[in-house]
Amino acid sequence: MSALATTAVGTLVTDSHGGIRVRGTRVALDRIVVAFKSGATAEEIAQQFPTVELRDVYLIIGHYLSHTNEIDAYLSQRQSEAAEIQRDIEKKFNPVGIRARLLARQHAKSAG
């Protein structure tokens, strides 16, 4: 996503992980756009995220409407990255059989 996506609206900043957030909050651009696309009004979004001012919600919605393709591509990329991270975590920490493995460890400790 180009710098335009965050610099055009001063209320958006890019964090150290490449995520776009509302300045001064932990609220991701994703959350506001998803709420808007789900039919929430600016007022409802501001109520849902009390750390984001209503005027900023309107600015972000306007920015989204002006840069829909670019922001949708960013959101799609973020979803792909999240899915990849989820797969990596599941590979490393496969919960299948965890109870049996823990019981086996416990039994080995108590036997030894």
Please say whether the beta carbons of 12 and 2 come within 8 A.
no
Residues 6+ positions from 89 with CB-CB distance below 8 Å: none
Give the pTM. 0.73
- Stretch 97-106: mean pLDDT: 84
- Stretch 82-87: mean pLDDT: 91
Q: Band of the pLDDT at 61, cuts 50, 70, 90?
A: very high
User: Which residue segments constitute the domains of the chain, with CATH numbers given?
Assistant: 4-111 (1.10.10.10)
Percentage of the chain modeled with pLDDT above 70: 90
Instruction: Look over the chain and give the mean of its residue pLDDT values, rounded to a whole number.
Output: 88
